[in-house]
Every structure is written in structure tokens, then in C-alpha cells.
Structure 1
Amino acid sequence: MSEGILKALMQLFSIVSDVEAEASTDRRKVVELFLKQQLNQELVQEYLNVFNDFQEAQTTKGEGAKKRKRTSVNSVKVLRICTQINEELTQRQKIVVLIRLIEFINSGDNPSPQELEFVTTVAETFNISHEEFKRCMSFVRNTKDEIPESSKILIIDGKQSVNIAEVKHIYCENLPGQLRVLSIPSVNMYALRYYGTGEPYLNGQIVQSDRIHILTQGSSIRSKKIQPIYYSDIIGRFLSDTSQEKTLYTVENIEYRFKAGNVGLRNINLREESGRMIGIMGGSGAGKTTLLNVLNGIEKPSSGQVLINGIDIHNEKEKIEGVIGYVPQDDLLMDDLTVYQNLFYAAKLCFGNYSDSKISKLVLELLTNLGLYETRELKVGSPLEKVISGGQRKRLNIALELIREPSVLFLDEPTTGLHFEDIR
């Protein structure tokens, strides 16, 4: 964020705070937590001082008969600041700002009507839907026993189940208290809070029980007494749909011989349901790609069978058309096309009955989910003359298959040559 935007946000925090009350220590902690997510420690203190200056200016203004006029002026200021920063902040950043503002006005005493009005104005100016605004407000304000009946809520605790309609649940043995996660679908983001007296860690930092934490890709929650809870566990629980039939993938006594008669695979058995991620590890030349080609239907086994919901994928291919997706090691991108065009034309081949506008919407949503939206107008370039990074190329290759929404997806060497951040 630019210096001007950060100063505007500090002014916004100070205005949203009730001008009759000085900023409490708790409120300053909320501002500090927000700044720590954006800046190094030296700059955090600098902008905290900016906030303090704005707050002091707010509290030293005249009282009494001028209050109503001052409230009206502040409403205009809130609208002006939000309009000013609206174009520079991403929608994800706007959600974070809104959550911190909600935390801010709810730290200490109950928020005043003026504070609630100001925060509502911020949400409306940021084009945040009323439903998501209400969910964020409830997530910050609810006590441990106040659990809304919503599919956007995930409970993680030591209980075997949670008897609340639609609420997701993860059992975590020996977890003291409760972790609660809010899904914010519009920006594909997840917020976390903790009710309890233990000391779970999020990416090495203690999860404070009175603060909202933002989960990022690759996050993990750990403690001495519990098994790690990974980001993939959390999003997997939100993405699972119990109303749909599960996909059952079965491998029975597979054996594969090469044309020369050499045995490549033998006695391979596997049984898994949808919602699982499985890794195959082995040295170079161990047969990983051969196994993958048999499992995805490219190569036919010498004996045994591979079944998806009881259908033999090698002998009844017409019955499972579109069910299996495969991302090979080799690059499948068209060098002279942009990121958007590569995915758009691939989707057009798959969805010939869709209009261009509908395909475009699907493409842009997927590019956003994979972190490729900002590069959509860039030409892909060749692997030797790179325009986009290796990690972006790999994600775009994966997108070519994900756009079809296959029930089973195979990836051959998906992390080769990638930076660890891209792997996460």
C-alpha cells in the first residue's frame, strides 16, 4: 500500500471511533495488528503515531451543540476517504480493512450507533454485499456459544460432531477450546478466531483469543497437544458437498508389462473417496509416470482393473468421459496467446454450448482463484523466453484441466522447478 493510502486508513480508523471516547489500548492493538500485516516493525510504529495524531485531533474538537454537525462532517469524510482508496485496494484488502474496523469498534464497550453507521458506510462504499458484511460482523461479535446456522462457518474442536445445521466441523483431539473459521467466498478468503485458554500457533505465531486472524495459502495451525491442521484441511471441508454423491476410486490388483515383457507395475491396490489428496513419491525412473498413466486411463494394465464408482475406466471409457483430468509434466500452453486466451479457448472447446460471456465469467473466476487475474493480459511466452513465472505457468497448465471441473485430477510432477511459495 502507498503512503497516502495508509495515512487515509489511519484517518478512517480515527473517524470511525466514537469521537466522545478516546482510543483504548484494545483499539490501538487492532490498528497495530492491521499494520503488522502490511509493514515492518519500524513503519508500524510510524503509522501508529499517525493514528494517534488523528485520534487526538478528533477528541479535542468542540463538544455540545456542535456534535451533530461534527457527525455529519465525519460521515462525509468517511465517504470521501473510502472513495479515495477504493480504486487502489484489492477487494481482498477491503475485506481485511472492514474486519479490522469491525474489531476496532467492538473492542471494549459496545459500539455506538454512530460507529455502526460509519462502518456500514465503509462496507457499502467498498461494494461488500450486505450478507457478507453481516457475517463478518457476527463473526467478530459472537461468543463461543453463539454459533450461526451457516454453511460459511467451520468449527474445529475436540468434540466428535457439532449438531448445528449446515455448520462444517473438524474433529481435533486434545484441542482446548474451539477454533472457528469464517469463509468469505467473494474473495476466496478465510478468517480465524479462537475461543479458549490454550496456545495454538498459526504459522509460528500465537493465535490470540481476542483477535481475528486471516488464513493464507499454506497456513497451518499447530500445538504440542494436537495434530497439525492445514489450510488444505480447512478449504477441503468447505468445498465438500455432502448433498452430492461421493466419487469412489478403486484400483484392484494392477499389473503392467512393457512391450518388451518387462514388469513395470505389480500388485497395486488402492481405494479412496472424493475429497482426498494423495501423493506418489519415488526416485527418478521408479515408475511414477507409468503408474499415473495406468491410473488415469492412458495406458491399459496387463491385468487388474481401475474403477470409478464401479465403472472400468479402460473398458468403459464412454461412461466416464470428462470425469478424469490430467496435467502432464510437459507444458501445454500456446506461447503467443495471453494467459486469459489460453484458458478461454480451452474452455470454449469443452463448453461449445456456452455463450462467450458465460465462458469468460468462468475463466475470470478461475484465474482469480489461482492468483492469475493480474497476469491475464500478459502473453505466456516460451519456457526459454519467459514472460510469466514458472509457478504461474504451472498454475495455468493446471487451470486448463480445472476449468472442466473433473471429479478426479492427476498431476505429474506438479512442483518441479517451483519456488516453495508457489508450491504452498
Structure 2
Amino acid sequence: MLSTLFSKLISNLLKVTVYKIEDENILQNISTQYQSTHYSRSMFHVSSLKYLISHVPEYSFTEFIDELNVCILFFYFASELYMIGPYMKVSPDRKQIEEFLIKNKLPASFSISMENYLSNIPILSSYRITDTLNSIINSFNSEYPSFNFVRFEYNNNKKNSYQKNFAKGNIDYTNIYQRYELENQLMLMIESGDINAVQHAFKDVTNFSKNIFDKINSTYAYNYYNVYTANAMIRVLARKAAEKSGLSVIIIDQITQKNIQNLKFNSTQESLTTLITELTQAVHDYLIHKKDYNPIISNITEFLMFHYSEEISLTALANKFNVSDSYLSKLFIKETGETIKQYIAKLRCKKAADLLIETNMKISQISEFVGYLDNNYFIKVFKKLYNQTPSEYRKKRTQT
């Protein structure tokens, strides 16, 4: 009973999953839920989890960070082992994901599904977690020994540790619950596509955070209402609210990536305001016009965005979506103005064009990454679409 209340309190305050590790079945459940099919070395394998647990001492918050910057934290309380997570400290970056895929020789079409997988993981700071845990433990048992914090971080196949001692403290739970209520209102406005109301809801969230930050001069307040962390959390919440509306994750991803690029030129607050507005507008447009779209073609184009680097035939697509080859071929041309083969070629070459500018990858690597195993054929297709070879395209755009 005590452990259930303890876990629920942590989960409600941090909005993160909490596990009480009682046996291997719990580890198996964790592995099934969070093991990415693209990531063979994941720390969510049962054997990996067991290994990590073996390095968790008593009276310590022990954090593990993997190659993708996904975190989990273990600790013992009242002789029982708990795991918090997974969580991330910043929103997933597409460049980092693509570098990971290239390093592990995985196709480009995995990037969106992996980004979607990572975007479902909540954004939390280590400080917020440990301060919250420390205060909850203190409220359950004021005589319990103080905890320290240890971090094991993946970095070029090496694990680095960082240690810090934590003093006992208290949390103003009223402020936390009030912020979550404001965040829920913001998510509802985005999900419903309410363009006018979303601006007011966003101002309420940001003003509340600023007021708390200004009024409370404490370590906890500083860490919890840290502007960067708070904005990262709002960015993830906005994505999830838009996704809940039914808006394509492809559109959500495009808006989010543009927003991340704008961070280089605009303030964080301005960029976040733009993201909230554009996501809500996209949801609004989607909800108004969704009846005008052919659902089969909408589903197929979204499927292709996830799988464009794989070998996909007209017959395979027709079978997957339960239509005939001829019907799908005619319908696709009618709706998009091009054949499925042409559509896939555009997707592949668009990604290749981006990589030619943004990376120093060899053209042969890019060719394979986007789905062309024959580099010469890739050059031919690319030149047909862009009127220049990949080398010419890169040279022209990197010189300007």
C-alpha cells in the first residue's frame, strides 16, 4: 500500500512512468514497451537492465544515459527498488538521429519512426527528478538518510560518472498542480485547433512559470522553472496534442523541425510561440478539410514517408491497403499527379538533397541511406529531378 502511494505520487508530480522492480517479469514488460526495434544495443534489453541494476547502490539516485540520450533512473527506498523513466533532457534532434542511423547502417526511412518513438518520451531535468524524489522521501520518512546522485553516460563507448550530494528539501505541490492544469488547457486548445484560445492558454503557462521563478528564490524553483527545460516540455506537449487530434505525424515533424531551425535566428520564446501557432493552425485546417481527402491515399503517402528508403512495389502497397493494383495506380495519379514510383523518387531525392548540404557524407553513403543501392542509378534519378548531379548540387549550394 505504501509503495503504491509512493509510486503514484512520483508519477503524478513528474508525469513520468514509475516502476517498482519486483521480479524479472517487470523487467520483461519494460523491455517490451521501450525496446526500439532499430536499436540492437538498447539499455532496455532485460540483460542490460539487470546489468545496470547491479550498479545501483543504496541511498543513491543512479541515472543511466544511452547513446540516444534516453535516460532512466534507479534508486532504493525502504529496501525496494524503483525505476523512473524513460525520459529525455532535451527534445530529440533529427541530425543526431540520422547520424545514429548512418553509424548503425540503418535506412533513412527509420528516422521519422525513431523520432516519433523518442518524442513520446517526456522531457525532464535530472535536478527536477532528484529534488522531487528527495522531498517525497523526506515526507514519507524524515529520518531517512540523504541521497546522492550518480550518472553513467554513454560517450564513445565509455561511461562517465558524475556525483552530487543532495540536501533535504520541500516542494510546493500547489504550484506544480496549477502548472499542470494550465498545460492541460494548452494541450486541449491545440488538439481542438482553437487558434484564438491557444494564444491565451500559452500566455497563461509562460506567465505562471515566470511569476513562480521570480517569486521563489530556491534551488528547486530555479531548476523546475528553468526556462530551457520548461520550453522543451511545452514543445513535446504541443507535438503530442497535435498528434492526438489526428494530424499526420509527418506534418507535425515538418513544423517542429522548421521551428528547431528558427531557434538559430529567433529567441526561444518567439520560436515556441510560432510552433504553438503553426501546430494549432495545422490542426484547425486538418479538422476542417479532412473529409475532402481520400483516406486511402492519405494513409499511403504517410506510409511512404516512413518507408521510402525500402523496396516498395505497387502490388505490395495494394495488398497492404486492400485494393487492386489498377485501382491504386489510377487513384494515386488522380490525387497526386504522379505515379507511386515518381513519388518515392521525389521523397528519396529530397532527403538526399538535404543531406548533401547538411552533412559531409559521401554520395555513395547518401545513396544507400535513402534507398538506392546502385549509386549510378541514384545519380541518374537525382539529375532528372534537379537538373544537376549530386556533386554539382552540393558544390553550388555549399559555395553560396
TM-score, normalisation: structure 1: 0.25
The structure in which a higher percent of residues are strand is: 1
Whose RCO is larger (CA < 8 A, sep 6+)? 2
TM-score, normalisation: structure 2: 0.26
Rg larger in structure: 1
The structure in which a higher percent of residues are helix is: 2
